[in-house]
């Protein structure tokens, strides 16, 4: 079902595009962007030079970055299929995503090892589309009570030794790990990951707010899909949600589909986090791109897609993930949750880049950075996506 891939090529493209609404310097500016060999090489005032494309009043934003997405179009990262991974990253550009972390789900050591090897092989051999920044390793080091759709029979205690094996299979591409840090004895794996450039994100966790503070002190830098898969906020027992509110310099992912968290909850989260530490994620499953009523096996469990796009376990009816498109998430944040425009845009551009420490090349429209761009109309529909300066959508 998946098309053949074209190896990733970024060089040789020279162009100038312009818009009356280019997002940089935390505002929309009338400007031209010059691109050469995959990089932004200059920015001019609107109308300075002849252009290859004038987008008028349509908005040019930095390309979207999704750090928590399991798959789409019938493919799941755990499937370990090269053609499926290539098809996914080639087509995810339709929603403006220009970079992502391929995300695993808890499974057997054999399944996870094969999944990691598959990502490493595709990255090495070449692909076209959104850049695979690495792997988000979600599980298997999770809490049983807050496991969500993660299969409990494969949940284990974290060990540095086992993680090293996984990282070797991934050829060093595990960049982000979700785990219940309260199960990490002496924070051994938390420390190891922090020392080796892997973002530790607290998630599927029963940690208290005090335990979260200790995890932060030992190297944890983020929280996974805040509100979901964690201890809730109470005025006496503040839980992980309370810790997410209180720790201003701790990044926090949040699924912005309006189902996992209401617009009010989204508003409160970003009100607490401010403009620089909230990260929109899709947590999208292989079911993305499939009609309502479709059923899939995810992590060994059957899930069904509802009319609102949410994915639910057929056994318990509980939420199991989303089919969110990031451009739609941006619309929900700005138009429904009434999150400030700069905060909403940062959540899917600058903030994930900063969390992964790649903001020196991605996440902003700035001279010297990768020419990853998305063009949106007034209804948040994607008109064009540029990956390293290459136009990815056929918009004849």
In this predicted model, what pLDDT tens digit does every residue of 337-392 receive, in sequence order? 999 999 999 999 999 999 999 999 999 999 999 999 999 999 999 999 999 999 99
What are the angstrom distances between the C-alpha of 300 and each of 76, 122, 224? 12, 24, 21
* Helix/strand/coil for 76: strand
| Distance between CA atoms of residues 349 and 258, nearest Å | 20
Phi, psi of 97 (to 5 degrees): -80, 125
Q: Is the pTM of this model over 0.85?
A: yes
Q: Which residues of 62-89 are buried (b: 16+ CB within 10 A; e: fewer)?
A: bbbbbbbbbbbbbbbbbbbbbebbbbbb
| Distance between CA atoms of residues 221 and 202, nearest Å | 8
Mind listing the pLDDT tens digit for each residue in 200-215?
999 999 999 999 999 9
| Distance between CA atoms of residues 152 and 330, nearest Å | 33
Annotated binding site for Zn(2+): 138, 204, 225
| Distance between CA atoms of residues 194 and 178, nearest Å | 13
Q: What percent of the chain has pLDDT over 70?
A: 96
| Distance between CA atoms of residues 149 and 224, nearest Å | 14
Within the chain, all domains assigned CATH 3.20.20.140 are found at: 63-356
Within the chain, all domains assigned CATH 2.30.40.10 are found at: 14-60+369-391
Q: What mean pLDDT value characterizes the chain?
A: 94
Confidence band of 7 (pLDDT split at 50, 70, 90) = very low
Is there a contact between 253 and 225 (Cβ–Cβ < 8 Å)?
A: yes
**In whole angstroms, what separates CA 194 from the centre of its chain?**
19
Known catalytic residues are 283
What confidence score (pLDDT) does residue 395 get?
65
What confidence score (pLDDT) does residue 348 get?
98
CATH topology for 63-356 is TIM Barrel (3.20.20)
Phi, psi of 27 (to 5 degrees): -165, 165
Mind listing the pLDDT tens digit for each residue in 113-127?
999 999 999 999 999
Please state the CATH superfamily assignment of the domain spanning residues 14-60+369-391 in this structure.
Answer: Urease, subunit C, domain 1 (2.30.40.10)
Q: Strands 199-202 and 222-223: what pairing?
A: parallel
Phi, psi of 166 (to 5 degrees): -65, -45
């Amino acid at each position: 079902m998946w098309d053949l891939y074209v190896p990733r090529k970024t060089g040789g493209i020279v162009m100038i595009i312009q818009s009356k609404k280019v997002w940089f310097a935390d505002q929309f500016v009338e400007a031209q962007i010059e691109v050469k060999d995959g990089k932004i090489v200059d920015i001019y005032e609107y109308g300075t030079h002849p252009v290859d494309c004038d987008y008028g009043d349509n908005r040019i934003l930095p390309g979207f970055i999704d750090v928590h997405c399991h798959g789409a179009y019938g493919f799941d990262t755990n499937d370990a299929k090269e053609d499926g991974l290539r098809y996914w990253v080639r087509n995810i550009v339709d929603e403006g995503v220009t970079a992502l972390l391929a995300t695993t789900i808890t499974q057997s050591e054999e399944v996870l090892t094969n999944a990691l090897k598959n990502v490493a092989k595709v990255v090495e051999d070449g692909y076209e589309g959104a850049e695979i920044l690495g792997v988000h390793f979600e599980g298997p080091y999770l809490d049983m009570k807050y496991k969500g759709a993660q299969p409990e029979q494969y949940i284990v205690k974290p060990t540095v030794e086992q993680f090293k094996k996984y990282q070797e299979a991934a050829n060093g591409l595990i960049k982000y790990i979700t785990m219940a840090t309260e199960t990490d004895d002496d924070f051994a794996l938390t420390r190891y990951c922090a020392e080796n450039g892997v973002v530790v994100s607290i998630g599927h966790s029963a940690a208290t707010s005090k335990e979260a503070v200790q995890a932060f002190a030992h190297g944890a830098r983020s929280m996974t899909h805040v509100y979901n898969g964690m201890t809730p906020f109470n005025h006496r027992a503040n839980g992980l949600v309370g810790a997410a509110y209180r720790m201003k310099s701790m990044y926090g992912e949040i699924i912005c589909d309006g189902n996992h968290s209401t617009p009010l909850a989204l508003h409160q989260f970003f009100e607490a986090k401010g403009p620089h530490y909230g990260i929109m994620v899709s947590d999208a499953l292989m079911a993305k791109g499939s009609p309502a009523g479709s059923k899939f096996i995810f992590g060994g469990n059957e899930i069904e897609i509802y009319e609102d796009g949410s994915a639910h376990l057929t056994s318990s009816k509980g939420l199991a993930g989303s089919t969110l498109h990031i451009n739609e998430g941006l619309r929900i944040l700005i138009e429904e949750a009434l999150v400030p425009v700069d905060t909403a845009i940062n959540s899917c551009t600058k903030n994930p880049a900063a969390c992964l420490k790649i903001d020196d090349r991605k996440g902003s429209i700035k001279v010297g950075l990768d020419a990853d761009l998305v063009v949106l109309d007034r209804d948040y529909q994607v008109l064009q996506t540029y990956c390293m300066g290459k136009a990815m959508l056929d918009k004849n």
